[in-house]
Chain A
């Protein structure tokens, strides 16, 4: 299935208005419901955990110990995360969940028992640690779980909904906390959290029993020493951060985000602890705050997040959370009171799930798949603990003054750094995504040979080394490059090497050398190919032949060639006789030529027609005139014969040659189409202008358009013209897609179904070809490597690469064109502009009027037996 089929063909009939609003494609709903349920349970549990942890710790242990707890937490988090990293790539996300959730349940029950049946105050910091570690691991792993199940495009559409499910869970958890803390008792809430976790793992097991392992999961290497392996992985993640600007900037941004976030938590926590009398009241307040923040975050996630990401783009959306944090600090700096603390908490806890988490996932998707787990592990094991311990130290220092302003300045400064590194992450986002894509689609680095400077010592050394390479093919490749960029330097070593190189190498370099040094070439060929028993290769003979000049050796070569059984050699002989021979010999040669051109052997015909290009035009025209079957040869079954015919079209009379060239533009073979385009559109400025008009007005099929565009694009120096081509091709592709969907909605049966199916397939193929055509034109407006990478990604057939290619399109320099193409490729079918439903007959009639022979004939075929009532 092609890229755009994947992007576009979904069942419209299954999409109801709600799904339309929420951008859920047909068939996605059951899977989405499952993820929403699991994330709901996890969210509810975490809300209960968050409120109870803070209330119990602040009131029963003391908020002044929070900086110390951050230090302890950083170390615990590092150790736990190493264990996490040991398994994150080795097990599928769901199997890993089945390991960690039961452990967490046991820890919760243990903590509850300590709080209920002992007077140990240690239970509170332990619970604090359990919650903090568990929530971090669960959050990171939940995102990995999503990434293993949804591609970038699905993540953009569906992750806001799934995270909204989590948010509903958070609201319900908060509501439960707000209403039941006083009655149930804060510590008994631990058991409720345990129960929710149990329900989540049970659903997960049931789902994966039915649907198998997460589809985008790629197992890491198995090892006997997982912890050592994990440390190695973290090390690899850290090393990768040195190479990858994106990961480096993301990591530094995370570092400052953690500092600013926890300083804000501490600052508002101080206000809350002073305001509320006991843990039950504080817990109830946290419940109410959770409900408020959760509800706001939910509304944002459902109605705003995905639209903001799509309209602003991933990069601008990445700046929303840093700016929100900045606003929270500004508020607290204005007034360190409960009202502003609540405002700051709302900004912090609303914008984090609504914008920061989904956008961060998108950024991670720009990294190579095999590094994503390691990069996340590195962030969790190194960056997060380092940032936490830094926070702890900074807060301990700030505690000495006991002035809120001190904490707030630290937090605000970190928020500024966070914003700065988020901007830097944005700058490296596209480059990283393209690098990953290029690696995946195996697009080699294209050396810009035209820009090589032969004066550069490294370049000239390398080229000289290439010319001495023992492999003839390597030598030829280097020689061609060198003859193009520095012919004077190239000629002596190339001629020297050609004295001993293979005949094939000589033949391959004749075209380049005949331009660079025709006399030198002649001398070399005459010396190397003396007349003898072995016939002279046809390309060599053709290069040696010149009218008039006396050369017995050349005449012997020609004589030998005329006697040869090889059609190419005989053709070279004919060439020689026609240019050098006497009139009777020439007449004989023409007879042989006619026999060859009328032969049943494809090789004879091709060789005969190739003779014409070496002859003076008048002579070649005479030859064609004497060959009555020349026009019929265009109907030949062998594309090489048709190609030879098209290459000689200039010898025909004007009307006939244009008709044939226009027919050849729709040939089955790309080389024939290309030759026809060259003949038809490269004769002058007017014909080139005409070529662009033909493309923009879709006066031929997309494949013919591509041949024409490839032929004239290098001579187009008008960016606005190319831009018009891109725009008109996108419009045409959109129109074809709409028609294809209308056709898809027609529920035909029986014999018509097959005919309609074929028309639908052709429309889809034409749509894809037009997209590729638009990208081909775009390649000449943008960085060609970037566009080539995007094209390769779209053609790869891999949905993850297609999604990344679509995302990359949005960040090319010409944003409007990138957005136009991106919208066409990414917009779910139900979001396409509604078009009035046409009748089947009118759709097919429209298709049959397109200047596209294959689509036209398939549509006419479908129309032929259509009952009158349809």
Chain B
């Protein structure tokens, strides 16, 4: 049970799900699966299929957009509570970056097909995600105006 609350809070703090009510996030929380990656592994490579998103519950990863997936030139590092590959589960575009595991990393993964299934069953999830996306768009627009 305690795990459920932690997962709900973790999801709520992600930009993608910030507009979804915590009560609806319980449904998503149940669909999350744990996965562990070890230092030196790559979670995914650029141009891979974006079939799931990863929420980091511990550890650290580096994001590289170098065409050579083996090169460790990171544009950004992500740590606990952050998310990678979230756009991939909404669109059908391939991965736009490679993610290297910098420290042993525990993740919670959400598969695209599972999310789609949940959205079909619970349209409130889609509305919440749309609300989050609209807020992101509004922020981006405000930043551009500045």
Contact = CB atoms under 8 A, between A and B. Distances in A.
Interface of A: 1, 212-213, 215, 217-219, 638-640, 668-670, 703, 754-755, 757-758, 761-762, 765, 797-798, 854, 857-858, 861, 864
29 contacts: A1-B18, A212-B145, A212-B146, A213-B146, A217-B145, A640-B121, A668-B23, A668-B24, A668-B26, A668-B27, A669-B122, A670-B124, A703-B23, A754-B5, A754-B9, A757-B9, A762-B22, A762-B23, A765-B21, A765-B23, A797-B131, A797-B135, A797-B138, A854-B22, A854-B23, A857-B1, A858-B5, A861-B2, A864-B2
B134 interface: yes
Given A668-B24, A762-B22, A854-B23, A639 B131 contact: no
Nearest to B142: A215
Contacts of B142: 215
B6 interface: yes
Contacts of A703: 23
Contacts of B8: 758
Contacts of A212: 145-146
B12 A761 contact: yes
Contacts of B2: 861, 864
Contacts of B1: 857, 861
A460 to B, nearest CB: 36
A218 B141 CA distance: 10
Interface of B: 1-2, 5-6, 8-9, 12, 18-19, 21-24, 26-27, 121-122, 124, 131, 134-135, 138, 142, 145-146
Contacts of B138: 797-798
Contact of A669 (B6, B9, B121): B121
Contacts, number: 59
Contacts of B22: 758, 761-762, 765, 854, 858
B57 to A, nearest CB: 12
A857 B2 CA distance: 10
Contacts of A755: 5
Contacts of B122: 639, 668-669
Given A668-B23, A703-B23, 17 more contacts: A1-B135, A213-B145, A215-B146, A217-B145, A218-B145, A638-B121, A668-B24, A668-B27, A669-B121, A670-B124, A754-B6, A758-B5, A762-B22, A797-B138, A861-B2, A861-B5, A864-B2
Query: 10 closest A-B pairs (Cβ-Cβ)?
Result: A212-B146, A213-B146, A758-B9, A854-B23, A765-B21, A861-B5, A761-B22, A213-B145, A639-B121, A762-B22
Contacts of A213: 145-146
A197 B13 CA distance: 46
A219 B146 CA distance: 11
A790 to B, nearest CB: 18
Contacts of B19: 797
Given A638-B121, A857-B1, A861-B1, A797 B23 contact: no
Contacts of B21: 765
B80 to A, nearest CB: 12
A864 B5 CA distance: 13
B29 to A, nearest CB: 11
Contacts of A638: 121
Contacts of B121: 638-640, 669
B131 to A, nearest CB: 6
Contacts of B124: 670
A842 B128 CA distance: 32
B112 to A, nearest CB: 19
Contacts of B6: 754
B23 to A, nearest CB: 5
B19 to A, nearest CB: 8
Nearest to B1: A861
A272 B1 CA distance: 81
Contacts of A218: 145
Contacts of B5: 754-755, 758, 858, 861
Nearest to B18: A1
Nearest to B141: A218
A636 to B, nearest CB: 11
A757 B121 CA distance: 28
A793 to B, nearest CB: 15
A218 B19 CA distance: 25
Contacts of A765: 21-23
A754 B135 CA distance: 24
A639 B9 CA distance: 24
